[in-house]
Amino acid sequence: MTPRHPMHPVMAAAAALLGSAAIAAAPQAPGPAFPTFKTAADLKAACDRGLDTATAALRQLESRPADGGWLAAYDRFNGQLEDLGYPLQFLSAVHPDKPVRDASEACEQRWTEFQSSLGQNEKLFKAARELKPRDAIDRELLKTTLEGFEDAGVALPPAQRERAKALNDRIAALGLEFDRNVRDAAVQVAFTEAELKGVPEAVWKNAKRDPEGRLLLGVDYPTYHPVLQLADSTSARERIWRAKVNEGGEANLKLLAEITRLRKEYASLFGAASWADFVVRRRMAESVPKAQAFLAEVKAAVEERERRELDELRRAKAEHLGQPLDAVRMERWDVPFYTERARKARYSVDQEAFRPYFPPQESLLFCFRLIEKLMGVRYERVPGVTLWHPEAQTWRVLDAKTNKPLATLWLDLYPREGKYNHAAVWSMRSGSTAARRTPQAALVVNFDRQGLTLDELETLLHELGHAVHNNLSATRYGQQAGTSTKRDFVEAPSQMLEDWVYDKQVLKLFGEVCPNCKPVPDKMIEQAKAARDYAKGIQQSRQHLFASYDLALYSGEPRDPMALWAQMEGATPLGHVKGTMFPAGFSHIATNYSAGYYGYLWSLVVAMDMRTAFDGGKRLDPQVGRRYRDKVLGNGSQLPPAALVKEFLGRDFNSKAFFEDLKK
């Protein structure tokens, strides 16, 4: 996932401007050093300075004539805004001290207000409208720049323009509050050791205990997934499932209701029928009916398979409990447990058994080695760099042939209280060849220190795919770099790579980065590959529900988010569990994936088609990898996504590979 952060893509020497809080740039790491702060007051002071600098830079840009250098000057200005603001805003997700996280969030809100005003800047809009693009790249940037101004409300009548800004600022503030409620909830569930029978001891042995001696487990995924998949106790699985699905609570349901109402009002200012219509018109799908038709096609392909798989799991439950089939009902907290049992029984696959083969740091090195071989780069760790946490790492990316430094990558691998508790990449700094500006990204995950499962290794490679998209961008302008692509394409470069972890030859790269690591047996990979398709109907039906709910929530008149969810989930084979409130933790649709969650499935179609270029023994082919690096990753959004893919494949993309895969 990529934010995957509600930062606007619009920061020069940030380290100097941030003052004494910033560290000196490590000479080996391209771009400005990451700023560190001892106190919330330090961060606030840096935020004040950054906004003052940005305001002064804006005044200079406003006075510039709309000449042949204006577009490049505008792009440099946007890069300056990134450097001044993005690192400060990112810290709300990762800093160990809550006062600093709170100051970071407050800073982000101020930057959001600056950006919403910037989007309505009539002087800049007028200058952009007067420009004559010199080539196709300029034309594409100018097109998206003008669309951005228009969508911010610059062309609206004064009263409506003012209302649009107020709505933008309010929606952003609500999104921050929504994420904070999830991040700082610190949900814990108490279990006796007996209730955790079946769960590896490493998951719970170091957990804190309550006064009664029970273990207190959080709902971070290194804890949540093993309990849900492996705990023999039905009650234990149900309690941790309910705790997770209710993360965010009633407060977030109210926030989501207000967000949907305000977004509908915002869209109406532009004459759009709904927020979904307003958003999707700028995406690959082009219209809500087209996105809905695609989802209907997915549903038709998986719904019968989902029912068959659930029937099989119900039979497995009946056999396990020694009960008559008619007396057994599948519950949502049963599905992961019996799916895992079925995989073990049918394919002899145990995800937990992979952990000894995939130590976290070595798994990272393996993923780096794959990218190195495939795309002609080299990763080098930069030691001695002070970041937001002692365990966070700094790496630089170099071109393997020329040794030219290309980018910086920061990593944060392990869970802790108050940290963003899923997996995502923040594109912190956009690259620009014209400005000789190197990109920077931060990858955040929450892995078990004992090792990764194969599923988690897939997650790591997916997220690294987002970082690579940022790091290997080679666009003229920063605003067109890396993950600036349309939202329903942005997941494709990451999803394309996921399949590599099931390739026996690819996994042998582990021996190159960790000679002492015991190689994972070929048979385990073969079994995992066969097991991967098991319960695919259930998995894709769930993704379909998320996407359909998102579009339904933001189409037409605003509806109560919880009532709509209960209705739509209630229509699925497993139904809705009364008292649960999944939308309260569905951060994607409260923030920057609103009316766009369908993009995960849409991107997967494109990803699986691009993957065909690596078929026939070409998984590690450096020629195909270099073509992919240059044509897709390197071009960012200089071309529309369909044109990027056509440049790479030599033909228009299609959905054949995706729908064929659903039949496996």
Distance CA 521, CA 510 (A): 12
pLDDT value of position 2:
56
pLDDT value of position 10:
31
pLDDT tens digits for range 473-497: 999 999 999 999 999 999 999 999 9
The model's pTM: 0.92
Q: What is the DSSP string of 513-534?
A: H-TTSPPPPHHHHHHHHHHHTT
Q: Given a cut of 80, is residue 138 above it in pLDDT?
A: yes
pLDDT tens digits for range 327-344: 999 999 999 999 999 999
Q: Given a cut of 80, is residue 504 above it in pLDDT?
A: yes
End-to-end CA separation in angstroms for the chain: 25
pLDDT value of position 8:
33
pLDDT tens digits for range 69-125: 999 999 999 999 999 999 999 999 999 999 999 999 999 999 999 999 999 999 999
State the amino acid at position 185 in one-letter form.
A
If you count DSSP H runs as helices and E runs as strands, how many of each does the chain have, helices first?
Answer: 27, 7
Average of pLDDT values for 632-648? Answer: 97
Q: Count the residues in the chain.
A: 664
208 or 22, higher pLDDT: 208
pLDDT tier at 221, thresholds 50, 70, 90: confident
Q: Given a cut of 70, is residue 20 above it in pLDDT?
A: no
Q: Cβ–Cβ contacts within 10 Å for residue 261, how many?
A: 14
**Cis amide linkage into residue 4, ω under 30° from 0:** yes
pLDDT value of position 222:
86
Cα torsion 299, 304, 307, 312: sign? negative
Cα torsion 199, 205, 211, 212: sign? positive
Q: Given a cut of 60, is residue 614 above it in pLDDT?
A: yes
How would you label 582-612 residue by residue, b for 16+ Cβ within 10 Å and e otherwise?
A: bbbbbbbbbbbbbbbbbbbbbbbbbbbbbbe
State the amino acid at position 538 in one-letter form.
I
Mean confidence (pLDDT) of the chain: 94
The DSSP letter of residue 22 is: S
Residue 514: which of 643, 387, 369, 645 has the closest Cα?
Answer: 369
Return the percentage of the chain with pLDDT > 90, whole number: 92
Q: Given a cut of 80, is residue 14 above it in pLDDT?
A: no
Average of pLDDT values for 450-464? Answer: 96
186 class by beta-carbon count within 10 Å (0-12 exposed, 13-18 middle, 19+ buried): exposed
pLDDT tier at 452, thresholds 50, 70, 90: very high
Can you list the positions of beta strands (E) in 127-191? 189-191
Q: Cβ–Cβ contacts within 10 Å for residue 59, how many?
A: 10
Q: Given a cut of 90, is residue 1 above it in pLDDT?
A: no
